[in-house]
Amino acid sequence: MASHIGRRKFLATLGGAAAWPLAARAQQAAMPVVGFMAATTPWAQSQWTAAFVQRLRELDWIEGRNVAIEYRWMEGRNERAAEIAAEFVRLRVNVIVVQGTAAVVRARQATSVIPIVFALAGDPVGSGLVESLARPGGNVTGLSGQQADLAAKRLELLRDVVPSLRRLAIIANIGNPYAVLELGQVQEAARALDLEAATPEIRRAEDVAPTFKALKGRTDALYVLNDPLINTNRVRVITLALGARLPTMHGSRDHVEAGGLMSYGPNYPHLFRRAGDYVDKILRGAKPGDLPVEQPTKFELIVNVITATALGLEIPPSLLARADEVIE
């Protein structure tokens, strides 16, 4: 008799154990899914992705427990955005997180139903992504990186470090509509400072090295526009710039950490954290069209003194005092 009871207990335990995976699978199936379309590579934007995931955790969305995140990497190629967006639509994700104006445009073309949160878009109103910053309407909202006077501020900072600056090269991926818009702003700011500006065209990674060959001996400094293609290849850009002994100005601290001279721009990890707030609100029932588009509140000046020394440049003490971070 005891053996029968023991066997029944064993079978009941076995039945319970067998039921657990089914319950876990059912819970997993019911989890909301976030489609995370990253513009570059896991390495290139590890800090940004970590900031987003950390913010979700703080808001009680734990990856693998009550939310699933599907990561896709564009590797700096905007043309991949359409296929990734189409895949997210097939997967029926609950919200799509994306960055970069070109990628947001592709995501919006793929769906007018699934909420889309842009962690960063250059000119969301001018690009037709939203009706207005205050009332986006539709299924798209997020964080705008648009700041009209940023180009002028960056050039003034660059000239503080390179007082002899006369000839400027502006590196931009002209396949990116927002990069072209920003390029115009930099050219205008350069004219205001009586700088001669060269604008070599880059459309793919293979164009980077020939660009530097063409610039050899023809420029005093380099203004590097933020773009997924450039960000993905930033180590190559900075290595070639150092080889050509060119001071560089960037829009993101990642480039200065990789050896660029200086950057002035939004805190990108902070923007991705704030994208987590949008996702939280949408997963809890808010409509993206009712969530105002926000603009950056934090701008950073980062200076790499090691690079300055290698280039034979002296950073003015007044500029070092203003810097949010000095790499030395």
The answer, yes or no, to whether residue 4 has pLDDT greater than 60, is no
Least confident of 12-16, 98-102, 271-275, 320-324: 12-16
Mean pLDDT of 313-322: 96
**Per-residue pLDDT band at 258 (split at 50, 70, 90):** very high
Q: Which position has the token pair 């969530």?
A: 291
pLDDT score recorded for residue 29: 55
pLDDT score recorded for residue 1: 45
Residue 198 burial class via C-beta count within 10 angstroms: exposed 0-12, middle 13-18, buried 19 and up: middle
- Residue with the bigger pLDDT between 101 and 139: it is 139
Other C-beta atoms closer than 10 Å to the C-beta of 87 total 15
Fold classification of 28-147+268-297 (topology level): Rossmann fold (3.40.50)
Mean pLDDT of 95-116: 94
d(CA 187, CA 151): 9
The answer, yes or no, to whether residue 8 has pLDDT greater than 70, is no
**What digits encode the pLDDT tens for the residues 206-239?**
999 999 988 988 999 999 998 888 988 999 999 9
pLDDT score recorded for residue 81: 93
d(CA 152, CA 327): 24
Average pLDDT, the chain: 88
CB–CB of 140/116 below 8 Å? yes
Domain spans in the chain, listed from the N-terminal domain onward: 28-147+268-297, 150-267+300-327
**What digits encode the pLDDT tens for the residues 17-27?**
444 444 444 44
Q: By percentage, how much of the chain surpasses pLDDT 70? A: 90
**What digits encode the pLDDT tens for the residues 124-172?**
887 788 999 999 999 999 998 766 578 999 999 999 999 999 999 999 9
Q: What dotted CATH number matches 150-267+300-327? A: 3.40.50.2300
d(CA 102, CA 24): 38
Q: What is the DSSP string of 92-145?
A: T-SEEEEESHHHHHHHHHH-SSS-EEEEEES-TTTTTS-S-SS---TTEEEEE-
In single-letter form, the type of residue at position 115 comes to P
Let me know if the fold of 28-147+268-297 is the same as that of 150-267+300-327.
yes
**What digits encode the pLDDT tens for the residues 180-192?**
888 999 999 999 9
pTM over 0.95: no
Residues written for the chain: 328
In single-letter form, the type of residue at position 195 comes to L
Mean pLDDT of 105-114: 95
d(CA 155, CA 185): 11
Cβ contacts of residue 18 below 8 Å, gap of 6+? none
Least confident of 170-179, 248-257, 293-302: 170-179
**What single DSSP character describes residue 55?**
H
**Per-residue pLDDT band at 244 (split at 50, 70, 90):** very high
As given in the structure block, the two tokens for residue 189 are 């700011």
**Per-residue pLDDT band at 273 (split at 50, 70, 90):** very high
CB–CB of 211/243 below 8 Å? no
Which residue, 134, 92, 87, 132, is CA-closest to 115?
92
d(CA 258, CA 26): 45
pLDDT score recorded for residue 192: 95
d(CA 224, CA 247): 11
pLDDT score recorded for residue 320: 96
Mean pLDDT of 49-62: 98
